[in-house]
Amino acid sequence: MSEMLAALTNIRTAEDMVVAFRDEEQCRRLLESMVWPGGRVCPACGYKRSIAIAGRDMGMRRARPGLYQCSSSDCRFQFTVTTHTPLHSTKLPLSVWLKGMWLMLQSDKGLSSVRLAEALGVSQPTAWRMGHALRLMAAREHMLDGTVEIDHFYLGGRARINPNDPPPGRGRKGLPNTQKTPVMVIVQRPDDVTPGTPAGDARAAVVTGLSLRAAARAAEAQIDPDAYLMSDEATAFMALGENYARHDTVKHSSREYVRDAVHVNSVEGFNARVRRTIAGVFHHISPQHADLYFHEIGFRWSQRIVTGQAVRKTRNGRERMKPCGRECRRRCNCCKSFAPRPAVNCRSPDGGIIVKSAVAVFG
């Protein structure tokens, strides 16, 4: 198992990737070492003993290669490495999946379904579904602690002007109504700036609005109650800070952007990365599937490591130390992206996929 995983670190170029994933049997064993690093586990009952059913890979023709059966007398469930994952019942070769995973992780900001289809030799709808399955595997679940920044932005452009439509009018507190989709963003700031340490995690999710109820619903599932929250002077965030151990704000309306260590520059940097990714790679994403794209962008953000600190000047000309980070080698991220997460990747009894973000990508 460890030798199979060590082979991933030797993939440096596209040619190395083609050679590493050329054999379907090798791809299956590599995928098994990624999903079951401690040995096979039954996805139905969690039993750790199973038997391999003799198949074509053993000279028999009774079963397909890689089929196993749980040894528990109360279960006897038959499964493969893709059971209860977004690759469940896939008809594509595993080599195509691994190549697609490597290409998406190797790119700086992702690949569109059109470009992925050209690279893998599949149709665009197939590449679109593959991309969403891989983004689903990149979802992160652990709570964010330490210093956490929270902010929001709007997804989408201005609504098209139609002379027959009435004017949008005014919304809450005199703000103009908009057809854009609000997105709440949460970024964890690194506590340790020692070179080589993780540079923090990031989450983003579409919300129904910017009210306190919507903000609390999105934050309570992602932020630890003992976290140190930082935000701007938005009304919902001001009230939300009472739910956490400590809360500080900066007043952008008064042109205050940094006060000692209090700022939301990290989360605004993530917002900028989301906008650049959408504009440069996908050009447009729908609100229905936006959470999956945010999973991918947040996964890349979380794979950065601290490389040191640099002197940066604030808007007022004052110098301050700012940690610098870079993304770690993406060829080592395949195992992290395919780590088993039953709460996210598990199939429901009806045949769908249970997704924490309530976005169904497979029927």
Residue 111: the pLDDT is 93
Q: How confident is the prediction for the chain on average, in pLDDT?
A: 80
Residue whose structure tokens are 């690949």: 111
User: Which residues make Cβ contacts (< 8 Å) with residue 29, sequence separation at least 6?
Assistant: 4
| Closest to 224 (Cα-Cα) out of 318, 346, 285, 141 | 141
Mean pLDDT within 276-299? 93
| Closest to 140 (Cα-Cα) out of 294, 359, 259, 312 | 294
d(C-alpha 120, C-alpha 131), whole Å: 12
Q: Are 73 and 301 in contact (CB under 8 A)?
A: no
Dump pLDDT digits (tens) for 201-252. Answer: 999 999 988 889 999 999 998 999 999 999 999 989 999 999 999 999 999 9
d(C-alpha 343, C-alpha 124), whole Å: 29
- Chain-centre distance of CA 23, in angstroms? 28
Give whole-number Cα distances, 18 to 12, 65, 92, 286, in Å. 11, 22, 16, 33
d(C-alpha 155, C-alpha 54), whole Å: 52
Give whole-number Cα distances, 131 to 86, 346, 359, in Å. 11, 18, 14
Residue 316: the pLDDT is 64
**Could you tell me the domains of the chain?**
147-337 (3.30.420)
State percent of the chain over pLDDT 70: 74
Is the pLDDT at 356 greater than 60? The verdict is no
- The band of 79, judged by pLDDT with boundaries at 50, 70 and 90, is very high
d(C-alpha 269, C-alpha 195), whole Å: 20
Dump pLDDT digits (tens) for 182-210. Answer: 999 999 998 777 777 777 899 999 998 88
Q: Are 123 and 131 in contact (CB under 8 A)?
A: no
Tell me whether strands 202-206 and 228-231 are parallel, antiparallel or unpaired.
Answer: unpaired
Is the pLDDT at 165 greater than 90? The verdict is no
d(C-alpha 284, C-alpha 48), whole Å: 44
Residue whose structure tokens are 């919902």: 236
Dump pLDDT digits (tens) for 89-120. Answer: 889 999 999 999 999 988 888 999 999 999 99
289: alpha, beta or left? (left if phi > 0; alpha if psi -120 to 50): alpha
| Closest to 226 (Cα-Cα) out of 245, 240, 249, 242 | 245
User: One-letter amino acid identity for 103?
Assistant: L
Residue whose structure tokens are 């080589």: 196
Structure-token pair, residue 116: 């992925």
- Chain-centre distance of CA 204, in angstroms? 9
- The band of 163, judged by pLDDT with boundaries at 50, 70 and 90, is low
- Strand partners of residue 309: 323
Dump pLDDT digits (tens) for 298-344. Answer: 999 988 877 665 555 666 666 555 565 555 544 444 555 554 443 33
Q: Provide the sign of the torsion angle of the four alpha carbons 351, 357, 360, 361, taken in this order.
A: negative
Is the pLDDT at 28 greater than 80? The verdict is yes
Question: Torsion angle of alpha carbons 16, 19, 20, 23, nearest 10°?
Answer: 170
Q: Are 155 and 290 in contact (CB under 8 A)?
A: yes
